[in-house]
Structure 1
Amino acid sequence: MPRTRSSTTHARYWRWLGLTMAAIGLIVLSANWAERHELATRTAALRQAAAAHVLGLRGLVEKHDFLPYAAARHPDVLALLQAPQDSALRLRVNHYFADLQSTTGAAALFLVDRNGLTLSSSNWNQPSSFVGESYRQRPYFETALQGQRGLFYGLGLTTGQSGLFIAEPVRGPAGIMGVAVVKISLEPLQAAWRRGIDPVLLRDSRGVVFLSSQPEWLFQARQQLSAADAAWISSHRQYGSRSQFAVLPWQVKPLPDSAAYGLQTTVQGLHRSLLALDTALPELGWTLTVTSDMKEVTQARQLALALSTLLLALLLLASLYWRLREKRFVEQRSARLELERRVEERTRDLEEAHTFRKAMEDSLLVGMRARDPQGRIIYVNPAFCAMVGYSAEELLGCLPPYPYWHPDDLEKQARVSQDVLQGRVVPHGYESRIRHKDGHDVITMIYTAALVDARGVHRGWMSSVVDITAQKQAEARQRDQELQLERSARLASVGEMASTLAHELNQPLMALSNFALAARALADRGASSLLAETLNDIIAQSQRASEIVKRVRVFINPQRAQYENLAPADVIHHAVNLLKPELQRHHVQLQLQLEDGLPPVRGDSVLLEQVLMNLIHNALHAMQAQPPGSRRIQLLCRQQEQGVSVTVADSGPGIPAEQIEQIFAPFFTSKPDGLGLGLNICRTIIEAHGGRISVENSPTGGAAFTFTLALAS
């Protein structure tokens, strides 16, 4: 009898052990299944995100793909390659490139001859002009010379700014004569990535990251570069002067039966576990990597473990219930009540989660609108309803034109809506004016993305709508305030103008007095010929005083100036002659260096003389502490490509470095009795003439003020 009881106990032990192992196996299998299912879902989402990014990249490239082709076939471009010394032809090509760049939004367009020298560029009139630069070592130049289209991403040799270069050979009667190049900036795309949560990056064919939402990953490689690859990048200066590329701080873990892979890394100082997917762009030679947080996959596994455990616990309780219902009715009832309590808690948790999600949607300040592929509105959140003034019941099911479309923009909004429904989504959003139900206008920014379900089926389009009306109104108020400040600054300069006019009028008035005394003496002596000459001088000086008085209004509104074709040398000589007594009184040596054959400029002679006299007066003041023998002013005038430049340089102590940035600001002065408006007035006059004025300290001592004037047309 004891042996029989022992055998029963043994059998019961092994049976329970087997059931326990089976239960553990089921729990593990369910957790693995949930993890694989969530991983597949997240991978599908990554594929959709990658497809959207690839679509945006290809759209950006295709938008500018025709530019070098069109530029290479322009007759002026071919003519410039045949006659590179023709300055008029070069100017026409420069303007043609500038118009193309402004119209298409490209970063730059330029033309390179067969030797790699840039002949023309859209930024020819900027300090960072490409004209005269050599791009012979660039791969796109070498490829284009071989008759093929060149494609290359790297840092600019001149500007240091990154961009995608597309090169097209320019063919002529003698074959390939040069290369037309367009530069596309991807900085706006990178800026949009950086506003996202999950990292996105682009790698070139050698594995170097050149575009990333995480700045610390830029110019790092997926793996250690070979010596040949590093030498190629360095010789072609693809990434500037960089010759060493660190390996990305990634720990990669392959995932079975998945195109994605696990990624352990640090993002902005925080450790993150990511799911990553690579997408190749063979036509560009790039690889796009998109990522998503692995937290959802881990949570899915944990939830499956919890649910499987709960389910098996329920089965176990049911088994115990049937085995012990006669003996342990109270215990069975308690177990049932416990089960009901758990179910109730679970239901309450689900209801709370639903309530939380709805409250979160209701609290959003950004309007959300979903449309099916036909444009029918299928979802709106409360923020969107408040933005347009219509209830969800009034909007759901509506097809274009929607009731909130602005009546003045119906054609434009219909065109934009049709582009979105056909998949031509603007990657950086677009501005739209809508009409609220109560009649007032609302300015919005709309961002649209494809609405794709977990199975990868396109269900429509989801749009985020941001109300920027207040921002637009603030910008308008700021512009109004700036205009008021400019007008106040002009009115404040009238005080300085009064003192300047007093100084300027002093000489013609003194001359009038002297000539009048001389005329009276000549009249007494009866010298009629000398008397007539003296009277002519009186008339000339009175006319000059009248011209000076008439121009006081010009300082309030420089556009009222009387412009005419002027000889620069005449204006300079007249201003110097007016100041010659003062220069002699201060023992200052004035050195004039005027180029021969200077072309005429367009301007107001009295205003330009005022600028010269103000700059020379400032130079006199700056040299007061210098010994008389070392007081020198150099006045240089020479022709430039686009006009004439005039430089006034002194031998004084120069301008302190902390003051040189604000030297032209209103009311800034280093003189104890100055108002700080003289140089500001000079800049106003020069800018009204279409020129610019600047200052720099000379390496040999002293300061040099330079202004430019446009040539007469």
Structure 2
Amino acid sequence: MSRSGRDPWKSAATLRWLVFGLVVAGLAVASLFTAGEIGRSRAIAATESRATDGGTLALAILRGELEKQRALPVILARDPDVRQALTGGSRHGLDLKLEAIAKEARAAVIYLLGPDGVAIAASNWNEPTSFVGNDYSFRDYFRGAVANGAAEQFALGTVSQRPGLYVTRRIEEGGRSLGVIVVKAEFDRVEADWRALGGQTYVVDKRGVVLLSTVEDWRFGVEAPLDPATAAAIRDSLQFGTAPLTLLPLQERGDLVQGAGAFAGRYVRMRQPVATTDWLLEVLQPVDAAITAGRSQSQALVALLLMPGAALAGFALYRRQRNLARQEADARSKAELEDRVAERTAELAGANERLVAEMAKRTRAQERLSNLREELAKANRLATLGQITAGVAHEVNQPLAALRTYAENARTFLKRAEPADADGALIRIVSLTDRIGTITEALRGFARRGKEPLAPVPIGTIIDGALTLLEGPLRLAGVTPLVTAPPEPVHVIARPIELEQVFVNLLRNAIEALMEGGQGGEPALAITVTPKDERVEIAITDRGPGLSEQALAQLFTPFSTSKPKGLGLGLVISQDMIVSFGGTLTATSAPGAGASFVITLERAAA
């Protein structure tokens, strides 16, 4: 063939390769762009989920602190020492009392204002920055309490120059205002807990002024410029001192927030209202690193899928070009070569299909694995929630049973025309209803771990309370416990409500064991208190049928129980409570020899 005959073929081959390159390049660009956007969306969604979870935890921490501090003014407004100080009684004694309460409740300061707004007693009475003698009648929290009975104001302290929430309550007698009790709560601990959650967390009021923040420089900044009248009113009220009310270094950019300066980068923002306030809690989670990683992973996966396909397509095109060249040499060789190319092409097509199918299978397997992990995480959270909920029902059933017993006794006394005894039973019913609320609050505190501080508790009082609660079951079982304890009061470090619940659990189990079949002998049920240097041992021993080795080994395992209607949570909860006090709960038993539960706690001074 002449040279002029080859040139058109070469031009066609060149054109094919050019078109092939443009198609592959266009497909690669489009695929990588799409994969990058998918990776970006997934990264933002995952970061939003983390921000939502962090915001929920941050909100729970803040609300817990708010509710604790709000309870103090209500209680102190009814305190007789506070009223005596307002009517001419000892004020220094009240100083000491407020100082002790502030330390226990972790309040920044507690002080009492007279009807003229002048502080007459304060928990910081012995400090250089004492509030005693200062006039706070200009403060909105004083005016609000005088006018409405109660008020709250977040402001900068005029003396301490530290921000905090002022919670006030009016004290009155016979319709006349005697004064106002003020509790200032600072949120350093709350902000420290927020920092542990990651990201940036802050709270703004209805005007957009930052009140609390994990970033110190953001406090008293604003999210948007304030109108001149609002800014002037804030400065005139001295609510935030001389704070310049500068803008935060944040700007809305579509679905993200753009930071500047030391906080340069993009963030996902989550907002939640703070109940019972006009505040708004906001959480910022950095998203740049997640977007970069998400895009890289998606694009890498697409590149891995594209490269084999492009290579196979290029190889097929190359083979076809060679076949077209050989057609010019020999028609016979051409036919044979075409058969081989067709066979080879079929093999490559099958291999390509198998490769694509395998990749799709692996992708589906990875998605199933991700879904299973998410379901496992949800199941774990639901199991934890179920254990706590079941524990609440388990603990509340005890005073409910006692309520029924006292109610039946009251009916019997009324039928016998014994009003005094009926009144006593009704009084106990009222006490037990209060106790149900106390039990629920104590178990909720147990779930949060540490809401109520440890304190010296008289063990004798705890034992008496548990026996009183179980008076009906003891009488029904015909059991009179033998309590052996030193003549002088013995105190241990614990939380009283939770410790009493432990005794109720253990004593109730002993009573049920005795009702199943005791072994005879006296005493059937014994409680022994033995001080040992810096520890105190309390042993609860019954002469019931005892426990097998298998039952004893699983005694403190959740949901492990030999009772037909039991949940297997009582001993687990009891052991957790004792451990949280810094003590131990152990058990010994043998079939036919009864059982003994020994509680060891740290001894405390009276």
Query: How far apart are residue 312 of structure 1 and its match?
Result: 1.9
The 2-side partners of 1:203 and 1:322 are apart by 64
Q: Does 1:313 align with 2:307?
A: yes
Aligned match of 2:603: none
Shift of 1:78: 3.4
Question: Residues 304 and 371 (structure 1 numbering): CA distance in 2 closer, same or farther, change over 3 Å?
Answer: closer
Whether the 8 Å CA contact 2:445–2:452 is kept in 1: the answer is no
SS in structure 2 opposite 1:311?
A: helix
Contact 1:137 1:235 (8 Å CA) reproduced: no
The answer as to 2:277 corresponding to 1:289 is: no
Q: Report the CA distance shift for 1:135/1:421 in structure 2 as closer, same or farther (over 3 A).
A: closer
2:28, 2:149 → 1: CA distance? Answer: 66
Q: Which residue of 2 aligns with 1:27?
A: 32
Partner of residue 269, structure 2: 276
Matches within 5 A, 1:206-225: 206-225=207-226
Deviation for aligned residue 1:181: 1.2
Which ranges of structure 2 fall in alignment gaps of 5 or more residues? 321-339, 363-378, 386-439, 455-492, 495-606
Matched ranges for 1:478-627 at <5 A: none
Q: Give the CA deviation at 1:80.
A: 3.7
Matched-pair contact (CA < 8 Å) for 1:263–1:276 = no
Alpha-carbon distance in structure 1 between the residues aligned to 2:109 and 2:119: 13
SS at match of 2:261: strand
In the superposition, relative to structure 1, how do residues 427 and 13 fare at CA in structure 2: closer, same or farther (>3 Å)?
Answer: farther
Question: Equivalents in 2 of 1:47, 1:224: separation in Å?
Answer: 27
| SS at structure 1 position matched to 2:110 | strand
Describe the SS at the equivalent of 1:164: strand
Measured after TM superposition, the shift of residue 60 of structure 1 is 0.6
Shift of 1:237: 1.6
Question: 1:182, CA displacement in angstroms?
Answer: 0.8
Give the letter aligned to residue 264 of structure 1.
Answer: G
Shift of 1:221: 1.9
In the TM superposition, residue 299 of structure 1 has moved relative to its aligned partner by 1.5
Describe the SS at the equivalent of 1:65.
helix
In the TM superposition, what whole-angstrom CA distance separates every residue of 1:432-453 from its partner, at most 9, and x where no partner exists?
Answer: 99xxxxxxxxxxxxxxxxxxxx
The CA deviation at 1:134 is 1.5
In 2, are the aligned partners of 1:68 and 1:166 still within 8 Å (CA)? yes
Tell me if the contact between 1:265 and 1:273 (Cα under 8 Å) persists in the aligned partners.
Answer: no
Q: Specify which of 259, 274, 289 is matched with residue 264 of structure 1.
A: 259
Given the alignment of the two structures, is residue 252 of structure 1 paired with residue 252 of structure 2, yes or no? yes
Shift in alpha-carbon separation, 1:147–1:428, aligned structure 2, 3 A: closer
Query: Quick check: which has more Rg, 1 or 2?
Result: 1
Q: Superposed, which structure 2 residues align to 1:356-505 within 5 Å?
A: 374=383, 422=447, 424-425=448-449
In the other structure, the counterpart of 1:356 is none
Residue 305 of structure 1, CA deviation: 1.8
Distance in structure 1 (CA, Å) of the matches to 2:173 and 2:107 = 26
Quickly say closer, same or farther: Cα 1:193–1:372, change in 2 above 3 A: closer
Residues 6 and 28 of structure 1, relative CA distance in 2, 3 Å threshold: same
Cα distance per residue 1:259-305 (max 9 Å; x no partner)? xx2322233xx744433323332533223222222211221012212
Q: 1:195 to 1:429 in 2, by over 3 A?
A: farther
Against the structure 1 CA distance between its residues 274 and 210, is the aligned structure 2 distance closer, same or farther, given a 3 Å change threshold?
Answer: same
Compute the displacement of 1:176 (Å): 3.7
Q: Corresponding residue for 1:172?
A: 173
Map Cα deviations across residues 204-239 of structure 1 (whole Å, 9 max, x no partner). 332233333223323322222222222222222222
Corresponding position of 1:507: none
Tell me which amino acid in the other structure corresponds to 2:82. Answer: V
The 2-side partners of 1:129 and 1:161 are apart by 14
Q: TM-score, normalised by structure 1?
A: 0.43
Q: Deviations over 1:579-602 (max 9, x none)?
A: xxxxxxxxxxxxxxxxxxxxxxxx
Which residue number in structure 2 is paired with residue 234 of structure 1?
Answer: 235
2:117 partner SS:
coil
Can you give the 5+ residue segments of structure 1 that lack an aligned partner in the other structure?
256-260, 348-369, 377-414, 434-713
Matched residues, percent identical?
23
Aligned equivalent of 2:296 = 302
- Tell me, in whole angstroms, the C-alpha distance in 1 between the residues paired with 2:147 and 2:313: 81
Query: 2:157 maps to which residue?
Result: 156
Deviations 1:343-364 (A, max 9, x none): 9xxx9xxxxxxxxxxxxxxxxx
- How far apart in 1 are the matches of 2:271 and 2:305? 38
Give the TM-score normalised by structure 2: 0.50
The 3 A distance-change label for structure 1 pair 167 and 28 is same
Which stretch shifts more, 12-21 or 140-149?
Answer: 12-21
1:428–1:420 distance in 2 versus 1, CA, 3 Å: closer
| Structure 1 or 2: more helix by fraction | 2
SS in 2 for 1:119: strand
CA contact (8 A) 1:252 1:264 kept: no
- What SS does the aligned partner of 1:63 have? helix
Q: Alpha-carbon deviation of 1:35?
A: 1.3
